[in-house]
Amino acid sequence: MLQPIATATFKRPTGVHNPRPAQPAPCALCKGQGLVLDASRCSKEYPHGQPVPCPACGKTKTTAPIGLIDDELETDFAALIPDPVLTRAVNALTTAATTGAGFIYLFGGHGTGKTHLLQATVNLAAQHSHTAEYTKATALLNALRDGFSHDAETGYDQRYQQLIARPVLAIDEIERFAGTNFALQTIFDLIDERYRRRRRHLTVIASNMPPTKMPPAIADRLAQAEHYLLNGPSWRQVLREVQP
């Protein structure tokens, strides 16, 4: 006999509207988890049954997104303040995270939800069995530079290929890197490679700057992205006002 695995319920902040679009109903057997308990395979280790892939939906156990820690792993679209542009961005990111394809650029002032959107996107992508990673541009470049060291755990080429091949990649604060030749060429090459794979990989990039303010070569490639300008008030302040 197969039965769903019990899970905790996520509590949304009091007084915050959920702009998330309607989503397909989860699998009736596993409740969207991808695993069920097989009561015919009980053991000392699994007294209530061994977890097995859900035969109804065919999902497998998901892997936590790379680059997120602690409560970031619980970030979703539910806590964001409703706003027409923000809602359109959420709709686009929800579809992209589900399918694992696209090339999206978010930009706007501080506190308008860009980082939250990126983290929610990689979490949702992981829930749909896509290997997803969140990183900041500076951390990305630092890791690549470290790869040149003879004692590096991950060499430059290996790390660069990981970034190119990652099914879902979210790059935050893309404008915050030193304008060295290495940084400019690396960022351009990575964005170009990710753009070429946009029909089978998802890339989401966030910045405080419009794409036209980026270095010319990078701006030219980012001009091909799906753009969302987030220009509302700081939602961090609004959350502080509605939460106890």
pLDDT, tens digit, 9 for 90 and up, residues 193-211: 999 999 999 999 999 999 9
Query: Residue 119 belongs to what H/E stretch?
Result: helix 114-127
In a shared domain, residues 36 and 71: no
In a shared domain, residues 18 and 116: no
In a shared domain, residues 136 and 217: yes
In a shared domain, residues 143 and 80: yes
Residue 35's pLDDT is 59
In a shared domain, residues 197 and 105: yes
Alpha-carbon gap, residue 76 to 87, rounded angstroms: 13
Please give the torsion angle defined by the CA atoms of residues 139, 135, 62 and 72, in that order, rounded to the nearest 10 degrees: 100
In a shared domain, residues 42 and 70: no
Task: Output the domain CATH number for residue 169.
Answer: 3.40.50.300
Residue 207's pLDDT is 96
Contact 44/10 with Cβ under 8 angstroms?
A: no
Which residue among 61, 84, 112 closes a domain?
61
End-to-end CA distance of the chain: 44
Alpha-carbon gap, residue 101 to 115, rounded angstroms: 19
Which residue among 17, 33, 61 closes a domain?
61
Residue 31's pLDDT is 58
Tokens of 30: 């596993």
Q: Give me the number of domains the chain comprises.
A: 2
192 has which bridge partners?
none
Instruction: pLDDT tens for the chain, 244 residues: list them.
Output: 444 443 333 333 444 444 444 445 566 776 555 556 677 777 655 566 666 666 776 544 457 899 999 999 999 998 776 778 788 999 999 999 999 999 999 999 888 889 999 999 999 999 999 999 999 999 999 999 999 988 888 889 999 999 999 999 999 999 988 778 999 999 999 999 999 999 999 999 999 999 999 999 999 999 999 999 998 666 555 444 444 4
Alpha-carbon gap, residue 77 to 139, rounded angstroms: 25
In a shared domain, residues 56 and 152: no
Which residue among 39, 61, 83 closes a domain?
61
Q: Which domain holds residue 198?
A: 63-242
38 has which bridge partners?
2, 50
In a shared domain, residues 118 and 44: no
In a shared domain, residues 187 and 68: yes
Residue 20's pLDDT is 41
In a shared domain, residues 203 and 117: yes
In a shared domain, residues 33 and 90: no
In a shared domain, residues 192 and 123: yes
